[in-house]
Chain A
Amino acid sequence: AQSVTQLDSHVSVSEGTPVLLRCNYSSSYSPSLFWYVQHPNKGLQLLLKYTSAATLVKGINGFEAEFKKSETSFHLTKPSAHMSDAAEYFCVVNGGTYKYIFGTGTRLKVLA
C-alpha cells in the first residue's frame, strides 16, 4: 500500500532564507508524487509533480523537489522564501487506483 509521511507539521523560516519541507513515501512500485499548496480559504493548488521523467522537478513559484528512490524521499525546497509562501503544503502519492493519498500537511510560516 502507498503512504506518505510529512515529517514536520510546522516549519518557520525568515523571509529570504531557504525552505525545506520534508516528505517520505512508501510505495510498492514507482509512484507519481505531488506537492500541493493550500492558502487560507483557497483550494489545493498543484505545485509540482514527479512521474519518473526526471528526479529533480521544478514547479511554480520557484519551488522544486527531488525524488530520491534510495531514501524514499521527495522533499520540497525553495532557495528564498517569500511572505506569500506562507501556507499549508501537502505531499501526495497517487494511490494507483484513481485516488490520492495525502500526507498530514506542513504549515509554513514566513517571518519578516
Chain B
Amino acid sequence: EPEVTQTPSHQVTQMGQEVILRCVPISNHLYFYWYRQILGQKVEFLVSFYNNEISEKSEIFDDQFSVERPDGSNFTLKIRSTKLEDSAMYFCASNPPFTDTQYFGPGTRLTVL
C-alpha cells in the first residue's frame, strides 16, 4: 500500500540554521500539507499546497517558513532561521482528488539547540 514518506526521521540543528524537511506524498495525490506537534501539545496545521501554490496557511507559517514541490514528487518545508520554539514533530500529509481524507507520513522530529 502506498505511503507518505518523510526524511529525515530526526534532525538536530543549531538555532539560526536553515533546515529542509522532505516529504514524498502518495503519487496520485494532489493536495499536500504540513502540520507540526510541539511536545505535549496538539497537532497544528501549518500550510496546505495545491497546484504549485499555497492554498492556506496558519498564523504559525510566517516568513521563516516556505514550501516547495521542486520536482513533482518531493514536497519540502524549509525553515530559514530556526528558533528554539521550532522544535517539534513535523508531519507531512496528502490527499487524492475528490476526498478530504488525508494520509500522513511518520513525521520528522526537529530539535533546535
Contact = CB atoms under 8 A, between A and B. Distances in A.
B35 A100 contact: yes
Contacts of B31: 98
Given A103-B42, A104-B42, A105-B42, A98 B105 contact: no
Interface in A1-44: 32, 34, 36, 41-44
Given A36-B104, A43-B104, A98-B48, 11 more contacts: A32-B100, A43-B4, A43-B106, A43-B107, A90-B43, A94-B100, A97-B56, A98-B56, A99-B33, A99-B48, A105-B42
A102 B104 contact: no
A43 B35 contact: no
Contacts of B35: 100, 102
B65 interface: no
A105 B39 CA distance: 12
Contacts of A36: 104
B56 A41 contact: no
Given A43-B4, A44-B91, A99 B104 contact: no
By secondary structure, the B interface counts as strand
A34 B48 contact: no
Contact of B50 (A34, A46, A98): A98
A34 B3 CA distance: 19
Contact of B56 (A34, A42, A45, A99): A99
B37 to A, nearest CB: 8
A87 interface: no
Contacts of A44: 43, 91, 93, 104
A21 to B, nearest CB: 15
Interface in B23-79: 31, 33, 35, 41-45, 48, 50, 55-56, 58
Interface string A79-112: 0000000000010001101111111110000000
Contacts of A75: none
